[in-house]
Amino acid sequence: MEGKSVPPKGTWTIERHIMLQEKAHPDASGDFTQLLMDIALAGKIISREVNKAGLVEILGLTGETNVQGEQVQKLDDYANHTILSILDRSGRVCILGTEENSEPIRILPPYEAGNYAVSLDPLDGSSNIDANVSVGTIFSIHRKVSKGPRGEDEDLLQKGNKQLAAGYIIYGSSTMMVYSTGNGVHGFTLDPSVGEFLLSHPDIRIPKRGSVYSVNEGNSLFWSKGITEYIHYLKQRDEQSGRPYSSRYIGSLVSDFHRNLLHGGIFLYPADFKDPNKTQGKLRLLYEAAPMAFIVEHAGGYASDGRQNILDIEATELHQRTPLIVGSYEDVKECEKFIAEYDNDKLDVKEKKK
């Protein structure tokens, strides 16, 4: 952040921070700033519902299943509709891609199409919401690249390294918005009494190496050899490198990621051969892996699919999945070494099943 002189806590709102960052881009139209503020507004509204979820009839399932074949929680729907209704008529967005809609949402007349494409996980970790586990909203912003007046799929299907901004809002013991526009990673905590996100975590940097690993061990019999050997390695004693690591798994990507971002560590959702839908991992590239990869990279960490930087992966369809290994730089690079050593490039489900 300019000048490193961190402003007095309790007065530096996310709006002031975003506008200060906009000053660094003289050609900025103000639309990008307003788009980030629209997302912050959606976060405040969703936070209000999440925090009273136990009291009002908004927990539980809608009875529908989404394109992923997953049961849709009422709060998934609520979060999705809240964000879409704020963004779709703002005039700042040309197309929206969200986990809860099978097709991209192009902004058509009478609404004006703007210069930005937004991919969203409206509510991440929602299967945990009834158990009062922290959940979150994840967003990714690309610049419109298509030639026509309206948004096209190609505006969403861009590589993660083309993102203009990415972030998440985590609805936990407090509600926080963490975002990056490529100029550091900054965390803001919602003060409900004033309704503002106030700067609480300026210039977040993830430790180069952590002492925590985060993976669903229930899938371990279906991992590749490289992942199996790597997790086994983390459990062996070695004072020098701080092993054995501790295991922490919340089952909500935003929560597991946020803990590791602040304290260091590695999160893995690898390909697993239990489920034909998960041979490319469970998590989605455009609205889970790529935004987290953008954030972690701008905090000094790294995100890989096991063989390449997540940010270099070409997106070909909205709900495309990818294995995700993300967190402290040295830990993720070390995991890649195990995959290079044990998993040949041609390994796929068929071979695995023999």
- Minimum CB distance to ligand AHG, residue 115 (Å): 27
**What is the CA angle 69-73-74, rounded to 5?**
135
The span of 20-28, 86-94, 117-125, 173-181 binding Mn ion (CB under 5 A) equals: 117-125
| Interaction between residue 251 and ligand AHG (CB under 6 A) | yes
The option from ligand AHG, Mn ion, none interacting with 305 (CB < 5 to 8 A, set by class) reads none
| Interaction between residue 124 and ligand AHG (CB under 6 A) | yes
Closest among 120, 128, 118 to 71, alpha carbons compared: 128
Pairing of β 116-124 and β 93-98: parallel
CB 137 within 8 A of CB 83: yes
| Interaction between residue 121 and Mn ion (CB under 5 A) | yes
Cα–Cα dist 276/274, whole Å:
7
Residue holding tokens 């390449």?
308
For residue 286 the two structure tokens come to 């455009």
| Interaction between residue 70 and ligand AHG (CB under 6 A) | yes
| Interaction between residue 272 and Mn ion (CB under 5 A) | no
The span of 144-152, 164-172, 175-183, 248-256 binding ligand AHG (CB under 6 A) equals: 248-256
- Strand order across the 105-106 sheet: 105-106, 93-98, 116-124, 135-143, 165-171, 175-180, 186-191, 196-201
Cβ proximity to Mn ion, 19 vs 105, nearer residue: 105
Cβ proximity to ligand AHG, 51 vs 71, nearer residue: 71
| Interaction between residue 252 and ligand AHG (CB under 6 A) | yes
CB 161 within 8 A of CB 319: no
The span of 121-129, 162-170, 230-238, 312-320 binding ligand AHG (CB under 6 A) equals: 121-129
Subset of 202-241 contacting ligand AHG (CB under 6 A): 216
Output the DSSP codes for 200-269.
Answer: EE-S----SS-SEEE--GGGGGGS-HHHHHHHHHHTS-BGGGTBSPEE---S-HHHHHHHHHHH--EEEE
The option from ligand AHG, Mn ion, none interacting with 336 (CB < 5 to 8 A, set by class) reads none
Cβ proximity to ligand AHG, 151 vs 160, nearer residue: 160
The option from Mn ion, ligand AHG, none interacting with 216 (CB < 5 to 8 A, set by class) reads ligand AHG
The span of 94-102, 162-170, 185-193, 330-338 binding Mn ion (CB under 5 A) equals: 94-102
The CA-atom distances, in angstroms, between 43 and each of 16, 51, 178, 246 are 17, 12, 11, 32
| Interaction between residue 163 and ligand AHG (CB under 6 A) | no
The span of 98-106, 149-157, 194-202, 259-267 binding Mn ion (CB under 5 A) equals: 98-106
| Interaction between residue 126 and ligand AHG (CB under 6 A) | yes
The span of 24-32, 93-101, 179-187, 202-210 binding Mn ion (CB under 5 A) equals: 93-101
Subset of 132-161 contacting Mn ion (CB under 5 A): none
Cα–Cα dist 247/164, whole Å:
33
List of long-range contacts for 341-348, beta carbons under 8 Å, 24+ apart: 341/226, 341/229, 342/224, 342/225, 342/226, 342/229, 343/224, 343/225, 343/226, 343/227, 343/306, 345/307, 347/224, 348/279
Cα–Cα dist 121/106, whole Å:
17
| Interaction between residue 99 and Mn ion (CB under 5 A) | yes
- Minimum CB distance to Mn ion, residue 197 (Å): 21
Among 125, 167, 270, 323, binds ligand AHG (CB under 6 A): 125
Among 22, 77, 99, 336, binds ligand AHG (CB under 6 A): 99
Which residue ranges make up the site for ligand AHG (CB under 6 A)? 70, 99, 121, 124-127, 216, 251-253, 269, 282
Binding site for Mn ion (CB under 5 A): 99, 121, 123-124
